[in-house]
A and B are shown apart, each in its own frame.
Chain A
């Protein structure tokens, strides 16, 4: 359900962007966090965001332009490879960056708390590095991408359970304002 709604959202946005110039798309990052969070926290909110985006009409959609909306990818425990389900997400960002060479991103790797802080810092770095590699394979230039790991230091969720941990095993693609 979530995926379907997000796909519709993406299609809408892609359609909107077709008429936009790249320069206008790059100044958009401020609108991103709400949509990203909605994508992570569930169907209901994602639906709301869609409605909100619709309500904001052409203006907002046009501003969001071609930057792919899903900006987080998730990993199994102690795994750093981008998962099959997330490949398309990362590839869309790579393609976008390939077409917009003046746009830069920071890939932020995170880990859950099961491990030492240092091991998790290294694991988050590998997650970020692997997303970066896939972005490059999809058309981005290395110079457009910086990586950082926060390890287990900046958890999105702080409880000791799998539903929390699964949210924290994550890499975020953050678009940087110029």
Chain B
């Protein structure tokens, strides 16, 4: 609470492997005071230490207040003197031990400092290069235990990085580390979309001279063409069961919504307007599509049953509204709200139809919810460069992730991995 409105700057540039600088502003309404003791065996390590990954993950949510251990160095529950930690509700301790064969063992415990009990204890071993993944997993467990919602630190994000005419389709950890380039082209790449199981990405590529849709496996990197009709083939979106994709084709004139099976068969048209219909996205129950259309004279968000039929206009505020995405519980949707020449990220509740602007405005585009619904990832700009940003779904905590090169565009948060 005392940190409310304060600005925290976490600079990872001290690490040689740093890819992003992360800046956090704001804080949650009810911050949980916790403490983390650097794990035994990590004394010589920097930002790559497991305990640093855990600490940074938790800090980025804005839901926790990190209290300095002030020199105390317990690594086992028996070493914790509970009376020495006033005001601390939970304590994270652990040990890291190198094993033979390039592996590392990490043991960690989460202690309830009020009830003086152990909430979680875990020992895992992993290859040295997967050490950050262990940190994210621990952060997920701590987050879920302390907030009641599943953590999203182990999930991945996808985006497009543009440097001059070079475009890369990139998948990275939720904190921006561990970038993997799936595709590099000298032609535009747009609109990556995760399959529901996180194993595939659909996207738009201009490598054939016009916009066509590809589907690519993250495991094998194998890819196949989903749609290559005349005109533009774009805006792929998976159905919740992964068996179908909605997409946009302009083969019959103006851009319209279609649904096709993931094997490319059984193509059928959903909308029949003479205007632009684009950016379809399935509702979590698979019954509806949200999409952007200018059928009313300006670009706004509409909802239509997946079998087609009457499309209901949902947004009325601002000059234009674009790029809708459902919240994971299906109760609201997030979108890019354009008014007076400025793009904002906004969320609207289906039940009361109230729109809430979450951000301060700028070139803020392409929002998507984290799979736990607590954060929204979007593209914005800082000092003339396209960057990633997140905002908590209540608008309180904002975070910018500045990459060291290129413009980041078209981000989308991936699903929970099973």
A residues near B294, Cβ cutoff 8 Å: 78, 119
Q: A78-B298, A118-B190, A154-B188 are in contact. Are A147 and B279 (CB under 8 A)?
A: no
Whether B292 pairs with A118 at a CB distance below 8 angstroms is: yes
Please measure, in the bound complex, the distance between the C-alpha atom of A160 and the C-alpha atom of B362, giving whole angstroms.
Answer: 11
Within 8 A of A (CB), among B253-308: 253-255, 276-279, 292, 294, 298-299
Whether B336 pairs with A125 at a CB distance below 8 angstroms is: no
A149-168 toward B: CB 8 Å interface, digit per residue (1/0)?
A: 11101100000100000000
Please measure, in the bound complex, the distance between the C-alpha atom of A165 and the C-alpha atom of B317, giving whole angstroms.
Answer: 24
Q: For residue A146, which residue of chain B has the nearest CB?
A: B230
- What is the size, in residues, of chain A's interface with B at 8 Å between Cβ atoms? 23
Please measure, in the bound complex, the distance between the C-alpha atom of A115 and the C-alpha atom of B293, giving whole angstroms.
Answer: 12
Please measure, in the bound complex, the distance between the C-alpha atom of A34 and the C-alpha atom of B311, giving whole angstroms.
Answer: 47
Within 8 A of B (CB), among A92-145: 113-119, 121-123, 125-126, 129
By secondary structure, the B interface counts as strand
Please measure, in the bound complex, the distance between the C-alpha atom of A114 and the C-alpha atom of B364, giving whole angstroms.
Answer: 11
Please measure, in the bound complex, the distance between the C-alpha atom of A125 and the C-alpha atom of B323, giving whole angstroms.
Answer: 18
Q: For residue B233, which residue of chain A has the nearest CB?
A: A121
Interface CB pairs A-B, < 8 A, 8: A116-B323, A116-B336, A119-B299, A121-B211, A122-B250, A125-B231, A150-B188, A153-B190
B residues near A154, Cβ cutoff 8 Å: 188
Please measure, in the bound complex, the distance between the C-alpha atom of A113 and the C-alpha atom of B343, giving whole angstroms.
Answer: 11
Q: For residue B292, which residue of chain A has the nearest CB?
A: A119
Q: A122-B232, A126-B276 are in contact. Are A116 and B255 (CB under 8 A)?
A: no
Please measure, in the bound complex, the distance between the C-alpha atom of A120 and the C-alpha atom of B278, giving whole angstroms.
Answer: 10
Q: A126-B254, A150-B206 are in contact. Are A117 and B191 (CB under 8 A)?
A: yes
Whether B234 pairs with A118 at a CB distance below 8 angstroms is: yes
A residues near B86, Cβ cutoff 8 Å: none
Q: A148-B210, A153-B206, A154-B188 are in contact. Are A122 and B276 (CB under 8 A)?
A: yes
Whether A121 pairs with B254 at a CB distance below 8 angstroms is: no
Q: A116-B279, A116-B292, A119-B278 are in contact. Are A125 and B188 (CB under 8 A)?
A: no
B residues near A147, Cβ cutoff 8 Å: 230-231
